[in-house]
Structure 1
Amino acid sequence: MRRTLAVTLIALVVIGLIGFAQVGTRTNPIKMVLVPSTSGEDILEIGQDIAEALSGLTGYYIEAILQPDYAAMVETFATSDGDVFGMPASVQYLSIFERTGGKVTPRLASVRYGATTYQAGLYVRRDSGINSVLDCNGKVWLATDELSTSGNVIPSIVFENWGIVPSEKIFTGSHPAAMTALVEGQGDFATCFYSPPGAPAGFGDSWELGDDLERWLWDPYNNAPYSEAERGSLRDVRGGIDDIYSFESLIWNFKCVALIGGNIPNDCVAFGPNFDTTMADAIVQAIKDHIATDAGLALWNSDKFYEWTAVADITDAYYDGLRTAIGMPIPVR
């Protein structure tokens, strides 16, 4: 009797250990890590809804986890073992690649309104007298995060190459925070992501590189914002704080005066070291299926989340152009 009881207890312990060790179960969920590029509270709330949807589509337990900053996401990936995927921005991804010795796998690039790249924008008050990147010399710089591609890394390289020395650099923590600090007069210029405006409804055209950065938003002939009936949609960083400040006040008083550097690869969906390929395949397909639905698109495309409109398959080579731009070697494959 005692032997039977002992065997039974051992079996229960073994079963419990197996259940605990299995990734994607309730006791050991897959971690979908997120960064607060906009409001952390909003990112987490929407991320939880997405994680729940992906769990339903895959049968795996997936938990959304907000990282306090970009560096924390890099560390979470680097110390993971088969249970982490997330949505790192470009320089974050390259940092993860370096920290893990290349043991990170990018699978999907985000697509925003048909584009898989974006730019770094220079934002100023319209009456600031700053009309180009060269005018930033000696001014107070509102950056986002140290590892932000558009909010710090690319502008830093350009400023150094051009001999531009701001009087002070303030890290604000996120793109909306940098823009808010500019609105509140805490600095002279901000560097944040730039996404071109959308055309007005029924307008058979789209923004192209070289067009006016404020096209469909600011009327250069009347020196005023376009009327509500004529204007396009605001998709750059200013749109992330239009629940705090009115559209009119943001457009009247602030502008993106220049782009800094070239095209930057969009953020991606990447899987950390030792992540099971079959599980990753299922999650990738679930993301594709989810974002293709109206309900899914409403979450992914929210201006309180990451504003994705679709996804595209990629490999690590997607980031080689950025590696070259920031002086990192292209890995041997």
Structure 2
Amino acid sequence: MTGLRGKITLLVLQNAPLILFAVLIIVFGTMSGRFLTPVNFINIINQASHIAIIAIGMTFVLLIAGIDLSVGANMYLSAAVLGVFLAGMPPLIAFPVVAVLGLAFGAVNAFIITQLRVAAFITTLSTLFVGRGIALYFSGNKMVPFSASVKTFGRTAYLGIPSAIWVFAAVLIIALIVLKLTTFGRQIYAIGADPEAAAKAGINVKRVVFAVYCICGVCAAVGGLVSGSQVAVASSTFGFQKEFPVIAAAVLGGTSLFGGRGGVLGTVFGAVLIQTVENGLVMINANPYVYPLVISVIIFIAVFTDSSRTAVLERLERRKIRIEPE
């Protein structure tokens, strides 16, 4: 009976985001007639695109039981460079430069973590402040407007689908291929499950960890580019505290904070769920001061669900080991 109860509990925990999403759809749909429209759902996905892109990169980091708290600073630094130094360049040149800058930001994190052996939490917390400080210096602590070509990109739609969604879809497809169909992807899961065992199996753990933080850096820069093209300017608060909804999106989607479990499809669902909350609050004209409280509750639910899910899985695994014949 205990085993059955544990499996039912695990099933509920695994589907908690889906249950929450269904409840939100019902509540907001009841309170606002505009919420349940195709145009609004496209708008939700469009607004969630930059969070989803960054959260995909964060998923790679979480899968190795790492953390990157500097993604918001990476966003802002990339946007500041785009607006201040690359304003006159065509998008085909400026956008790849921004991606390379994000890669360099991630590489700095990776070097400190893998070579200097500083904990990821401390490393990325430090680069969060350093990166934002450099961005503030470049921008002069002023709002940085983007060029017409960047703003055009953010407002353009292809086949009726906004460009931000196309970029997000491309990042998602690449991430799926890497995690599901490559040796590198399998190595990420192996390191997250047990880094010592992975090293004994011949996996170059440092190289994989280095690459993972670089991937997260690129995703943060691309997410900053997408977000910047939508809002047209980068203020001093651009990307501020974005690491929290990004991590929440990944964990809500089933990626464990303890590594080794999860995937990018769930992460995307988590990002859409968070944006659905914000969109629904706007639709019902909720007090703006309530937004941070609601997002905080979602983050708590994500962490609590992950911890509970991990505990249940460990209990079921121990029970399975005990009943196996010698």
TM-score, normalised with respect to structure 2: 0.22
> Considering only CA atoms, is the larger Rg found in Structure 1 or Structure 2?
1
TM-score, normalised with respect to structure 1: 0.22
Higher strand share: 1
1 or 2 for the larger relative contact order (CA 8 Å, sep ≥6)? 2
Higher helix share: 2
